[in-house]
Structure 1
Amino acid sequence: MSWSKLKQQLEGFLSPALHRRVEYRAPGYRYLPDKSGICYISVDKKNVLNMSDKTNTIRWYQTELEIKNDPDIQIPIANSDIEAVRQATKGPVPEDRLIVMARSRKSTEHAKELMSAQAALVKSNFIVVANQFLTTPIEESLESEEILLNILALVDRRVGKKRILSMVEKMELKHPVVRYFYELRRDTL
């Protein structure tokens, strides 16, 4: 599918409140066919997501430790997580220490997931992911670990106000760029 047709389809699915604000851009490299996957998502004429550039306004993590120390990421701990740590320790451990250990374990798992999703985004081809988005149900795109699929689904008109408002807890665990587009969409409701 040509870029212009793909762009037209993606913009056709944009939420009406974001119609003129969010744009999909692809610089034309006429003589460099291997550069066709480089694309940008801009908000209010400002490039917000450039898949190959980590120097934009969205925070990109370099290490797992940065993710663990980020105060914006609040990782909820369930009783089952504490119980799993209790069984793994096989001994008397104070309750407050179990909570700290469970939080550390969950934050390590979460950091690894975010780092792998971030690495996949840099390597991915926007056109391939956009075609995947157009052929999969919106629920799958929202639940996906792929950052770009999350973004395309969040700005989609098929995701209603009730669903956006009910996603607050899920968004706390997502990458900052996904949270940015979530907040952009939530603010337009």
Structure 2
Amino acid sequence: MSWSKLKQQLESFLSPSLQGKVEYRATGYRYLPDKAGICYITVDKKNILNMNDATTLIKWYTSEQEIKNDSRIDIPISHEQLEAVRMNTDGKIPEDRLIVIARSRKLSELAKELMAAQASLSKSNFITVANQFLSTSIEESIESKDIILNILALADRRVGKKRILNMSEKIKLKHPAVQYFYELRLNTV
């Protein structure tokens, strides 16, 4: 599918509150075959998410330690996760230390997922993911670990106010780009 048709379809699915506010854009280099081009999402004509570029307004992580040390990431720890740590350590560790260990393990998993998701952002990947978004259910797109699928789903008109409000806990574990578009949608609902 050509970019213009894909863009038209994606923008037809935008929530009424985001129409005219959010745009999908792409540049291509016709005479430079070694350049892949750039794909980006703008909000109010401001470049917010530039695929494969660390200079956008969204925080891009460059290492696992950077994610682990980011105080803005709030990781909820379940009782099952605490019990798993307790079982692995034969119950010899104090309760407050168990929470620290469980949080560290969960942050390591999250860091690996975020780094993998960031590494795959490019124009060709955006087009592939956008086509996938058009052919899958909105629930699959929301639950996906892919940043672009999450963003496209959050901007979609099929996601209503109630669903947006119920997603607040899950969004805390997502990439800052997804959190940005969640806040944008939350403020326009």
Deviation per residue, 1:148-173 (Å, 9 max, x gap):
00000000000000000000000111
Q: Normalising to structure 1: TM-score of the pair?
A: 0.95
Distance 2:4 2:123 in 1: 22
Please report how far the alpha carbon of residue 29 of structure 1 lies from its aligned counterpart in structure 2 after TM superposition: 2.2
The amino acid that maps onto 1:137 is: S
Task: Give 5+ residue unaligned stretches, structure 1.
Answer: none
Question: What root-mean-square deviation, in Å, do the aligned CA atoms of Structure 1 and Structure 2 show?
Answer: 1.5
What is the CA distance between 1:82 and its match in structure 2? 0.8
Q: 1:34, CA displacement in angstroms? A: 5.6
Match of 2:26 in 1: 26
Q: Secondary structure at the match of 1:26?
A: strand
Moved over 4 A (4+): 33-37
Is 1:90 the counterpart of 2:62 in the alignment? no
CA separation in 1, counterparts of 2:186 and 2:145? 20
Measured after TM superposition, the shift of residue 33 of structure 1 is: 4.9
1:4-61 CA distance string (max 9 Å, x none): 1111100000000100000011114222456456211101001111112111111000
Measure, in 2, the Cα distance between the counterparts of 1:106 and 1:21: 35
User: 1:110 maps to which residue?
Assistant: 110
* Equivalent residue pairs, number: 189
Task: Name the residue aligned to 1:78.
Answer: 78
Structure 1 stretch 93-102 or stretch 16-25: which is displaced more? 93-102
For 1:151 and 1:34, the matched residues in 2 are separated by 28
SS in 1 for 2:100: helix
Which residue of the partner structure matches residue 178 of structure 2? 178
Give aligned-pair identity as a percent: 71
Q: Which moved more, 1:89-98 or 1:17-26?
A: 89-98
Question: 3-state DSSP class of the match of 1:39?
Answer: strand
CA contact (8 A) 2:52 2:118 kept: no
TM-score for both structures, normalised by structure 2: 0.95
Structure 1 residue aligned with 2:169:
169
Write the mapping of 1:1-189 to structure 2, written as runs, cut at 5 A.
Answer: 1-33=1-33, 35=35, 38-122=38-122, 125-189=125-189
Change (3 A) 1:101 1:36: closer
What code does the residue aligned with 1:11 have? Answer: E
Structure 2: which 5+ runs fail to align? none
> Partner of 2:92: helix, strand, or coil?
coil
| Alpha carbons 1:49, 1:56 under 8 Å: kept | yes
